[in-house]
Chain A
Amino acid sequence: MHELSIAMSLVELAAERAGPLGGARVEAVHLRLGALAGVVEDALRFSFDVASRGTPLDGARLVIEHVPVAVFCGRCRDARVVEGFPLRCPVCGEPAADVVRGRELELTALEVSGDGPTDR
């Protein structure tokens, strides 16, 4: 279960980015999570609550945007979203190994309220 390690990295990164916002309170942390990131949402949510306790992120919501897997189809010369496996182009059926989306594990935004300097 590496979700705890990941949650700790997420809290550390979010706190680092929230620091320059002064006294602003972090209401929510927005995360993009790819279907092939190898991270289990429930385990991450549980770990996030544990990891954020006693930090500036304490009480913040975790807002997750799921990113489906997309592959680049060499025949169609285009990125295509795939539903599950096998990885193949849903249009022409060509097997496609080049995953162009779906591995994301990215802090996209912080939702903040209260005092503190405005956005940089």
Chain B
Amino acid sequence: MVPRIVEVRQAVLTKNDALARDLRRRFGAAGVGVVSLVSSPGAGKTALLCETLRRLRARYRVAALVGDLATDHDAARLRESGAPVRQITTGTVCHLDAEMVARALGDWDLSALDLLFLENVGNLVCPASYDLGEDLRAVLLSVTEGEDKPQKYPTIFSTADLVVVTKLDLAGPAGYDDVLARQALHAVRPGLDVVRVSVRTGEGMAEWLARLEAGLARKRSARCRA
């Protein structure tokens, strides 16, 4: 018997996409802006987030969900900022997905928040495929990683709303070339917004926070128009 073809046409990650849509609706209804942070391990997500929470706490009600393969060390570090933090331990899973975020949120009253950060597992490959319902995806690139990283991991950089170059205080010793880094970033995503920071010296932090606020305001007005 000749095999017959049954058409399906459905996204493989359709369940994650549907859950992410539900999350986005929930975030929108609660009026909370949601930002995810993605980078390779050790690029400085937790350090950046700690300082971001600390600085924003005066003006906004902020909170964070942090994903890790193991340990709650990052959650403990983030709690030092004084903001509420929940840990997602993924075990062997190399990325957060929408279901993990939904489960970690549980019945958290999101209307009591202005801003929620989702710190993904350190990984530049796998998180790219999973929508978490966030408004903005910030991808970090530290000056010690090599300027060509965007070309090695084009998928994640091409899905970024904003790129944060971190550890700027080490740019000299690392021989970081900003022109090369921008070329690499703009090769995979022309026009991509780039901000450079050093959490240690505070350089660029004000600009990063301003870009965050502007990015979220843009998304909010787009949501209102929709």
Contacts and interface: CB of A to CB of B under 8 A. Distances in A.
Given A85-B151, A97-B192, A105 B129 contact: yes
Interface in B107-136: 125-126, 128-129
Given A17-B6, A119-B4, A2 B11 contact: no
A112 B6 contact: yes
A36 B158 contact: yes
Identify whether the interface residues of B are mostly helix, strand, loop, or mixed: mixed
A31 B1 contact: no
Contact of A106 (B4, B12, B188): B12
Interface residues of A, number: 37
A107 interface: yes
B95 interface: yes
A38 B11 contact: no
A1 B190 CA distance: 28
Interface residues of B, number: 36
A86 B10 CA distance: 30
Contact of B8 (A38, A86, A105, A110): A110
13 contacts: A13-B14, A17-B10, A39-B129, A85-B151, A86-B187, A95-B191, A96-B190, A97-B190, A106-B9, A108-B7, A109-B6, A109-B8, A111-B6
Interface of A: 1-2, 5-6, 9-10, 13-14, 17, 21, 27-28, 30-31, 36-39, 85-88, 95-97, 99, 105-114, 119
